[in-house]
Amino acid sequence: TMAADTTNGTAPGGEGNRQRIFNNTPTITILIPCYNEEEALPALFDRLDGLRSNAGETADYRFMFVDDGSKDATRGMITDYAATREHVDFIFLSRNFGKEQAMLAGIDAIESDAMAIIDADLQDPPELIPDMVDLWLRGYDDVYARRRTRRGEGFVKRMTSHLYYRVLQAMSPVRIQVDTGDFRLLDRKCILALRRLRETGRNSKALFSWIGFRKIEFLYDRDPRVAGKSKWNYPKLIGLAMDGIMSFSTAPLRVAFCCGLVVSLTAIAYAIFIIARTLTFGVDVPGYASLLVVTLLLGGIQLLALGIIGEYLGRVFNEVKHRPGYLVQESKIDGEHQD
């Protein structure tokens, strides 16, 4: 299932011979954000055990589960799994903070040579990670998995996400990876870089692009979720999409400005036309309907522009509060348990 495409998103410097050399087996931590995943965990544990036993000498895989305030048996299952395995760590957040913050909690704690991010529902097959590790060992810093197919996802979801990427790219100054989620392998350089980005309204897609480094894509077939239900719904997705656009660029503000400009210029031209007409043909009373249309249109545009400004202002408000993105309830990091 592997097809590395060196023409896509490769950073300056090209491929060259950048083989990474390690004295000891490099450690790679797999970060797994979980929220109410009790149904998916048994299968996930099996596949992770399989990954470790097949790894051989190339990599020492560790697992970091971040529980994002689950209300089901997820925490107990992770605790049990970690109890007998030295290479399994976990962080339990104090409530549900969302996947973005759950990933940040992991990024803050992971001290390995590289890190991979996968979903708990096995939509991102862990068996692909060794191939991604090969690319990392050849010198790439960010091996991002791009979906070739999206089985188990409806037509509408596929269409909207396709459209979303295109809009985002049109507005963004940095190159955005199309059909790419959070499934990727990141070198330590990238982990340290991501740690420095402390914004509140996090959008990983934006941040992964923004940090740069040597990127390479890796095509894969996205599986349907093994068990349980997706936590996403349309209101949540629309919120995330708006966040993405607004945290990527200030283009919407410019759109509001351009609308204002076009409407004002049209109004001036129309005024000149009316003055000329009145001077030539005398006073003309009708015009009630056009007056109403113009008033409503202007009112609408003004409200829209205010709304856009408000969105940015709200973001500024959230940033200046400087709240931590997540809080930890309990953790086991590098074998050290804290409660």
Residue 35 binding target from Mg ion, ligand UDP, none, CB below 5 to 8 Å by type: ligand UDP
232 touches, from ligand UDP, Mg ion, none (C-beta below 5 to 8 Å by class) = ligand UDP
Written as one letter, the residue type at 323 is R
Interacting positions 85-124 with ligand UDP (CB under 6 A): 96, 98-99, 102, 119-121, 123
230 binds ligand UDP (CB under 6 A): yes
The least distance separating ligand UDP from the CB of residue 51, rounded to whole angstroms, comes to 16
Kindly tell me which of 37 and 113 has the beta carbon lying closer to ligand UDP.
37
Query: 276: which 2 tokens?
Result: 């000329």
Strands 27-34 and 60-67: parallel
For residue 34, state whether it binds ligand UDP (rule: CB under 6 A): yes
Please work out the total of residues on this chain that contact ligand UDP, with binding judged by CB under 6 A. Answer: 17
Q: Which of 15, 151, 192, 232 binds ligand UDP (CB under 6 A)?
A: 232
Select the residue interacting with ligand UDP from 9, 33, 106, 244 (CB under 6 A). Answer: 33
Whichever of 121 and 141 has its CB closer to Mg ion, that residue is 121
3-state secondary structure at position 334: coil
Q: 55: buried, middle or exposed (CB in 10 Å: 19+, 13-18, 0-12)?
A: middle
Number of C-beta neighbours around residue 254 at 10 A:
12
Query: Smallest gap, in angstroms, from Cβ of residue 42 to ligand UDP?
Result: 15
Per CB under 5 A, the list member of 27, 74, 101, 123 interacting with Mg ion is 123
Choose the binding region for Mg ion from 121-129, 174-182, 301-309, 319-327 (rule: CB under 5 A). Answer: 121-129
Instruction: Give per-residue burial for 96-116: e unless 16+ CB within 10 Å, then b.
Output: bbbbbbbbbbbbbbbebbbbb
Say whether residue 244 binds ligand UDP (CB under 6 A): no
Any contact of residue 68 with ligand UDP (CB under 6 A)? yes
Name the minimum Å distance from CB 217 to ligand UDP.
19
H/E run at residue 222 = strand 215-222
Residues between 137 and 166 that touch ligand UDP (CB under 6 A): none
Tell me which DSSP letter residue 86 carries: T
The string of DSSP codes covering 257-292 is HHHHHHHHHHHHHHHHHHHHHHHHH------HHHHH
**41 binds ligand UDP per the rule CB under 6 A:** no
291-299 long-range Cβ contacts below 8 angstroms, 24+ apart? 294/267, 297/263, 298/263
Q: Residue 157 Cβ, how far from Mg ion at the closest point, in Å? A: 11
> Which lies closer to Mg ion via its Cβ, residue 123 or residue 209?
123
**Which amino acid is present at 17?**
N
Alpha-carbon Rg for the chain in angstroms: 25
Helical segments of the chain, H only: 41-54, 74-83, 99-109, 129-137, 155-171, 188-196, 204-211, 234-248, 251-281, 288-320
- Residues 318-337 close enough to bind ligand UDP by CB under 6 A: none
**Site track 194-233 with Mg ion (rule: CB under 5 A), x = hit:** -------------------------------x--------
The yes or no reply on residue 121 touching Mg ion (CB under 5 A) is yes
* Nearest C-alpha neighbor of 2 from the set 231, 185, 176: 185
From the list 106-114, 224-232, 273-281, 305-313, the region that binds ligand UDP by CB under 6 A is 224-232
Distance CA 323, CA 320 (A): 8
Residues lying near ligand UDP in the complex (CB under 6 A) are found at: 33-35, 37, 68, 96, 98-99, 102, 119-121, 123, 225, 230-232
* Footprint of Mg ion (CB under 5 A): 119, 121, 123, 225
